[in-house]
Amino acid sequence: MYPRAKALGIIKHNDCILVEEYKGKHETGEGYYYRPLGGTIELGEYGAQTVIREFEEELSVTVEISTYLGCLENIFQIDNTIGHEIVQLYSAHFSNKELYKQNRFTITEGDHISYGVWIPIETFLQGEKTLYPNGLTELLSKK
């Protein structure tokens, strides 16, 4: 399996970050874990375009890119499967400021439905919840 190029949008509000909530096996065990919204960069698409497209596809909302935050290389193993992703990170914000009042967002990807939630950044910094990709917690602690 080859590395996958991904782009994620980091949206902050009131010392929280908007993340998608997952439940299942992950690198450090099983249970809930979280990841900012975004997805795989398509051929011919820049990372910032990926973030804008993914928010439109999954939440039906418009976001704008504020700044490029950096790149993380994430190599992980779940059971006997190794994953490898190159992750471009962008600070983003909702075009519609009313969206910051929502506590929960329904994320639709094909037949799969999950939820976007605001989680206090401090929760990840204290290790109370698991945030992926690896290295993102450390990056957030510096911002």
All domains in the chain, ordered by first residue: 4-142 (3.90.79.10)
Residues 6+ apart with CB under 8 A from 142: none
Looking at residue 10, its pLDDT comes to 98
Mean pLDDT of all residues in 35-41: 96
CB-based burial of residue 43 (10 Å sphere; 0-12 exposed, 13-18 middle, 19+ buried)? exposed
Phi, psi of 21 (to 5 degrees): -95, 130
pTM: 0.91
pLDDT for 100: 97
Q: How many CB atoms lie within 10 A of CB 133?
A: 22
| Average pLDDT of the segment spanning 101-109 | 93
Could you tell me how far CA 86 lies from the centroid of its own chain?
13
In the chain, beta strands by DSSP E: 4-10, 12-13, 16-26, 29-35, 37-40, 63-78, 81-94, 104-109, 112-120
